[in-house]
Each structure stands twice: as structure tokens, then as C-alpha cells.
Amino acid sequence: MSSPGRTLLGGAVPPPPEHVPGTRSRAGNAMVRTRAGLLEGAARAFAERGLRRSTMQSLAAAAGVAKGTLYNHFRTKDDVALALLAAELDRLGDLAAGRPSPGAAVAALAEEVAEHPVLRRLAVDEPAALAAVLAPAPEGWAAVVTRLAGVLGTDPVAAAVVARWLVSLVLQPGCRATRQAEARRLAALVTGGPAVPGP
């Protein structure tokens, strides 16, 4: 969860391609699709090899593209990792927002975070890289908490508690039944309602 616009090692990240009004939208759509495919490939490569052992060549191969295509979108492996992190945070936010209740949102996020293949790989093989991902700059953390507060319909303090619990699941995922029971209890606490019995 590095801050937006910074790599895990501190350099600037180029923004994703944006559609410019008046230009052909097919080309813009193709760039967006290509970038999404590159990030999907990167997720597979990072889950299989970890961050340290992945190279730009292995990332390109996992995405099924030439290395030059990858370099058209990203200058370094850190740029790819940060873009993947940003995309995953967006995906998780959308996933939670699509749930019918705060409890369902917290439960869905718990499963995604605890079972995320890249995070699991880093937890086992690259704890230093995982620590960099889990220790965002204050503005990055604030952005995550603000989005989570909006999704859960709660205040930033309660959202920060949920966010910290989710981070703890990366380190100690436990079993699914325990995660789900904790998610229900935590959602009830942060929304001010009674804990809902689980399935």
C-alpha cells in the first residue's frame, strides 16, 4: 500500500494512459485493455515467483506480450508493482461497495486479503517486500481509510480499525470460519449494531 504515485523504492510512477477528448476511443480502449492484461500477467508472475525473482521479461511472458510492450506502459518492475497495488485497491473497494451490508463487505474483504496469492507469496518468501506494501505513507493510508469509511458507511476511526484488522489477516490469515466470525463481530462494532450470527 505505498502511496499513490510512488514506487516501493520511492521513485515516481507514470500515470496510466488517459483518454484525450477528440482522439480515437478505440485506441484508448485498447491501451486500457493492454494495461489490464499486463497487470493480470504481473499478478500471476508475482504470485508464482515473488517480487524479487520476477523480472520485466517474466512479467511480459506471464502477460503474453513482448517485453517492449510492457516497457511502453511501465519503466520498471516497481512501477508495475505499484500499478498492480493501485488496481487491486480499486478492485477491493469496488468489491466491498457491491455488497448489501457492511458485514458482507468486511467478510468479502477478509477473504480477498487473507487468500490473495501475491500477498501469500510475499508473506512466505519476501517479508521485507510485504512490509513495504503494508506500510503506506500517511496520505496513502488516509486514502484507503477514507474509501473504506465510505463503503462501510462509518466514520474514519472505525474504518481505520477495520483496515488494521485486514492488514493483520495478511500476516495471520487463520481459518475461513474464524475470519468470517471476526468479520461479523467487527462489522457490528463499527456500525453500532448487534453481531449477526453466521452461517
Lowest mean pLDDT among 3-17, 69-83, 152-166, 169-183: 3-17
**39 in Cβ contact with 84 (< 8 Å):** yes
pLDDT value for 192: 77
- What's the CA gap between 107 and 166, in Å, rounded? 10
Q: For the CA atoms of the chain, what is the radius of gyration? A: 18
pLDDT number for residue 30: 76
The pLDDT assigned to 3 comes to: 37
The confidence score (pLDDT) of residue 119 equals: 93
Q: Give the pLDDT of residue 65.
A: 94
Q: How far apart are CA 24 and CA 198, in angstroms?
A: 50
Quick check: helix, strand or coil at residue 34?
Answer: helix
The residues pairing with 12 across neighbouring beta strands, listed in sequence order, are 6
* pLDDT above 60 for 81: yes
Average pLDDT estimate for 133-142: 87
Rounded Cα–Cα distance for residues 167 and 171 (Å): 7
- Homologous superfamily, domain 25-191: Tetracycline Repressor, domain 2 (1.10.357.10)
- Look at residue 6 in the predicted model and tell me its pLDDT: 35
By the 8 A CB rule, do 176 and 166 touch?
no
Residue 12, SS3? strand
Closest CA to 10 of 125, 140, 171: 140
> How far is Cα 124 from Cα 152, in angstroms, rounded to an integer?
31
Rounded Cα gap, residues 108 and 164, in angstroms? 16
- In the chain, where the domains are located: 25-191
Q: What is the pLDDT of residues 34-68, one digit of tens each?
A: 899 999 999 999 999 999 999 999 999 999 999 99
Residue with cell 506500510: 135
Q: With beta carbons less than 8 A apart as the criterion, state whether 80 and 74 touch.
A: yes
Classify residue 99 by its DSSP letter.
Answer: S
